[in-house]
Amino acid sequence: MRLACIYVPFGHMPFQENLRVVDEDFGRLPPLSLLYAAAIAENAGHEVLLIDANVSRMPYEEVVAQLEQFKPQAMAFTLSTYAFTSTVEWMGRLKNHFRVPTIAGGINPRLYPVETIANPAIDYCVLHFATRGLPALLDAIEHGRDPAGLPEVVAPGPDGNPITGSVDETLNPYDFLPFPARHLVDNSKYHSFISQRRNFTVAVTSTGCPFNCTFCAIAPLPLFQNPVDRVLAEVAECVARYDIHEIDFFDADFFANRKRGIDLCNGIRGLGLDLEWSCRTRVDIINEEVLDAAAASGCRQMYLGIETPDPKAQELMRKRVHVDRVRGVLEMMKKKGIRPLGFFMLGVPGETVLSATQTIRYAMDLPLDYAQFSRMIPKPGSGIHRELVKVIGDDPWKRHILGETRLDRLPNIWSRIDEKTVELLTKLAYISFYYRPGYIIRALARIRSADELSRSAKTAIRMILDLGHFDENGRK
């Protein structure tokens, strides 16, 4: 059958942790979950069209025109909680136009399967990694069978109430996942806000995280790792087949298993490819052996969750970064030729204006090439989200998905400053960090292409223009 996978355009929402300019200028990343779904469907013998309407902000009418040529028999979408409203709006319009079943996958159906399928735009949900559920569902649709009760599938039962099929979360999905179907997209269109080479893509070598930071939505997920030889085969395919020369690995922590991470580095180096890459990890995992292996294999950026220098807040967040080690690790990274990016949070537990400004000054004092500042929010599925539900006796995300409320700002029960002040402090952090004369000179020296210079200049201008004003609810 013909399956259309559609990645709809989405933008910043007021409840997100980042500033508008950060969300909208972070980059244009390939829809990895849909690329996996497309590959699963192709391996099951189905014809697949993937439309990335987000990368070029494709208008609805152009998407419809492409779909009319393809004549889909089913349509699939990835559904995050953040982009739920905008995605289901497109799903509803396309469902009414083409009159074919709609399928939702992604993190939101995993967190809220019953609430997700309650939306009239959604016919079926596929859970977990869809390796069993998607082929079974497509086969049922194609042959007119009832999909209710299929593994990894949420479907209406005989009485209209949803039936959630079994999910075996003990199975390593990487034993069954094919490589993402990157041949269905134009890989030259993608970039991150600090990527320097084309073609660019993102990849994951593991899911979940062994640490238990309360603010993180990844930590509660099962931890699975892709075998090193399969990762290396995918990396080789990226370069040979798709002319990709920069990969951003989106694992929660690339070096969570230090030996495996070093093995991956040595394997990438052994491939002898024209490739640069970046990853996310923790300060307390990094040592000289890790950095030597990473640098030798083409690692050029590492994203480090530093969050806050406040030890009390760290303890409450279960982050426990050793602040006295941070500077030494960053200096060692730079000596190895790896650019460090630090993640910081404002509005953390017990935060005051004074402690927030201390975080900003701390970030400015570190030898960082980049910094990202965000508000601490109860991300769906995170530890503080579960704590919020207990304290207030309500789940704002669930009501948002059910359309019962307009979600602008989420309750903050842990900080001592209000959301308006946190947002203003976040803007102050960006201006203070990036608009220092010395930093600007160093940043210009790092730029390697006219495309990178243009992206950096546009983001800088937008950051200045995005100072904005807020009403009493913190809305722009």
Write out pLDDT tens, residues 374-397: 999 999 999 999 999 999 999 999
CA 397 vs CA 118, 127, 327, 346, 474: distances in Å: 14, 19, 38, 21, 18
Q: How far apart are CA 407 and CA 15, in angstroms?
A: 7
pLDDT tier for residue 466 given thresholds of 50, 70 and 90:
low
Average predicted confidence (pLDDT) for the chain: 92
Provide the pLDDT for residue 469.
45
Write out pLDDT tens, residues 86-126: 999 999 999 999 999 999 999 999 999 999 999 999 999 99
pLDDT tier for residue 220 given thresholds of 50, 70 and 90:
confident
Q: How far apart are CA 76 and CA 104, in angstroms?
A: 6
Q: Structure tokens of 174?
A: 């990487």
Provide the pLDDT for residue 388.
94
> At how many degrees (to 10) do helices 419-434 and 353-365 cross?
20
pLDDT at 475 over 60: no
pLDDT at 456 over 80: no
Provide the pLDDT for residue 463.
67
When pLDDT is averaged across residues 134-153 and rounded to a whole number, the result is: 97
Task: Lowest mean pLDDT of 268-277, 308-317, 462-471, name the range.
Answer: 462-471
CA 302 vs CA 27, 210, 211: distances in Å: 17, 19, 18
Which amino acid belongs to residue 63? V
Task: Lowest mean pLDDT of 12-16, 150-154, 237-241, name the range.
Answer: 12-16
pLDDT at 191 over 70: yes
pLDDT tier for residue 341 given thresholds of 50, 70 and 90:
very high
Task: Lowest mean pLDDT of 95-104, 244-253, 379-388, 454-463, name the range.
Answer: 454-463
pLDDT tier for residue 263 given thresholds of 50, 70 and 90:
very high
pLDDT tier for residue 254 given thresholds of 50, 70 and 90:
very high
Report helix, strand or coil for 98. helix
* Domains of the chain: residue spans and CATH: 2-157 (3.40.50.280), 186-376+414-465 (3.80.30.20)
Instruction: Compute the residue count for the chain.
Output: 476
Report helix, strand or coil for 117. helix
Q: Which helix (H) or strand (E) holds 311?
A: helix 311-317
The pLDDT > 70 percentage for the chain reads 95
Which comes out higher in pLDDT, residue 26 or 465? 26
> CA nearest 183: which of 39, 296, 304?
39
pLDDT at 222 over 60: yes
Provide the pLDDT for residue 266.
98
pLDDT at 196 over 90: no
Dihedrals phi, psi of 67, to nearest 5 degrees: -70, -35
The residues facing 371 across adjacent strands are 342
Q: How far apart are CA 94 and CA 202, in angstroms?
A: 28
C-beta of residue 50 within 8 angstroms of C-beta of residue 184 = yes
pLDDT tier for residue 75 given thresholds of 50, 70 and 90:
very high
Q: Number of helices and strands (H, E) in the chain?
A: 18, 17
